[in-house]
Amino acid sequence: MSGAVSNPVLPGFHPDPTVCRVGDDYWLVTSTFEYFPGLPVHHSTDLARWEHVGHAIDRRSQLDMEGVRPSGGLYAPTLRHHDGTFWMTCTLVDGHRGAGNFVMSAEHPAGPWSDVTWLEDAEGIDPSLFFDDDGSAWYLGARPTHDPHPEDPQTTDIWLRRFDVRTRQLVGPEHVLWHGALHAAVWAEGPHLYKVDGRYLLVIAEGGTDVHHAVTVARADHVTGPYSGNRANPVLTHRHLGRDHPVSSVGHAELVEGPDGAWWAFALGTRPVDGHHLLGRETFVVPARWEDGWPVLAPGVGQVTPLVEHPAVPDGEVVRPAADEPFTETFADPTTGGLSPRWNRLRTGDDPADTTSRPGALRLALRPATLDEPTTPAFLGLRQQHHRARFTTTVEAPGLAAHERAGLAVRQKDTHHAVLALRDGGDARVVELVLTQGDERTTVGTLPLPGDGPVDLRVTADRLTYTAEAREPDGAWTTVGTVDGRALSTQTAGGFTGVHLGVYATSDGHATTAVADVVHATYEPLD
């Protein structure tokens, strides 16, 4: 009896996992949409313990995402290794200075990665690369069917063309491989191709990335097909378990074989609470084995489980994600420029992080931009990775004008967020909690805090409730207000991302020289 790993292995907003093994090293990358740096790279030597080691997109010169809409941006990367080089393909959706599918390369997955090369004639989304035994390289993608049947308007093609490694472009004829396992399958997408025992296995997602999401497979004797689906399709799904199951929307899987010959599948899923999920789509793992030339995912169980037995874990032990440990940022680590790679900003505008003007603090220059706009406001956020968690920060922002705010934010998207911030209240400084839902902005609560010194702010997530509190240092915490988390869920707001908790400052459309100093920030899991 071995130990176990805890699911999800990457909690919080980590969708569309792609996994690549080279020797004894495993590398895992996920989608990031409008957040930057993009495409986080995680490393493991045992498939049980994962470390965040860098990002594939970490400079504006690679990719300009300014103006990208919420849940636009970077979709569904695929990571592969061939002949000493790592390759990444991905889709940029809604880029104003370039959009479509691209490819990039690196000598090491932690970076640096090359600038992107846009792929001509690569229609659709969810690109993938496959390197065959004979040295040939192939590109796969998903796109709407060009001539759909009137009864099947959402049918998509999984298609394939050769990829020229030297020119980094597609060449040769196109081959449509599959349309999914179900008749009129909605959004057959996320294709990955493998060669196992001389046969080609195609793994895709279908059913849409909600409760009907599923993993289906097909195989062929030749890379260009024809492909035949497995009678056991879908090989992994939770759509039959109901909306109240603890894990939902399972799909978009990637297979990987370990040096010991054991196979594993990594897939996305969500953990809803009363039909609403706030954490986004997360990365889960299940074991896999082969029967009759087909992969069986989660054998004997047929679903994602909270714990997965793992031979790399000692008997009686459970490996939990690194995110389950409290995280404190003091903005003082010289090896990271004073800022952990766990922080994200929005899009690729000017970096709001200034850790040099005041050593040991993060200085945010108040910007006219707000969280309502598809740009880069003065916001830095951490993924919310637990149903119950607390984010605490200390902010110094003396002399704020009436239109200026500095504090923390709970962000789902541009149109759905909550802000707990200092502002000038006229007779006295106040802390104010404001909820934005579409065109509606509601002041949930205010708390006077006379003086001009530092203020501690915190927000506590408890399943579907966010409680906002404030205090002067060493004082008692006072509740400013509570927000119904359903207002910030994917089911209410739409889109593909999860909630971020972070620090935020704005001058709300006005020019200013004001700054806010963040001298402490802590994310604490409470589950």
What CA–CA distance (Å, rounded) separates 350 from 365? Answer: 11
115 part of the active site: no
Which of 16, 34, 157, 396 is labelled catalytic?
16
Strand partners, 467: 460, 482
What CA–CA distance (Å, rounded) separates 178 from 188? Answer: 8
- Cβ-defined contacts of 331-338 (< 8 Å, 24+): 331/355, 331/360, 331/361, 331/362, 331/518, 331/519, 332/359, 332/360, 338/362
What CA–CA distance (Å, rounded) separates 432 from 420? Answer: 6
Any idea which residue has 């990444």 for tokens?
88
By the 8 A CB rule, do 283 and 14 touch?
A: yes
What CA–CA distance (Å, rounded) separates 190 from 285? Answer: 17
Question: Helix or strand or coil: residue 343?
Answer: coil
Sequence-distant (≥ 6) Cβ neighbours of residue 59 within 8 angstroms? none
For residue 112, say if its preceding peptide bond is cis, omega within 30 degrees of 0. yes
Strand partners, 500: 383, 411
What CA–CA distance (Å, rounded) separates 49 from 10? Answer: 10
Which of 58, 126, 189, 254 is labelled catalytic?
189
Residue among 191, 184, 232, 172 at smallest CA distance from 212? 184
By the 8 A CB rule, do 108 and 66 touch?
A: no
Residue among 372, 382, 480, 499 at smallest CA distance from 436? 372
282 part of the active site: no
Q: Which residues are catalytic?
A: 16, 189
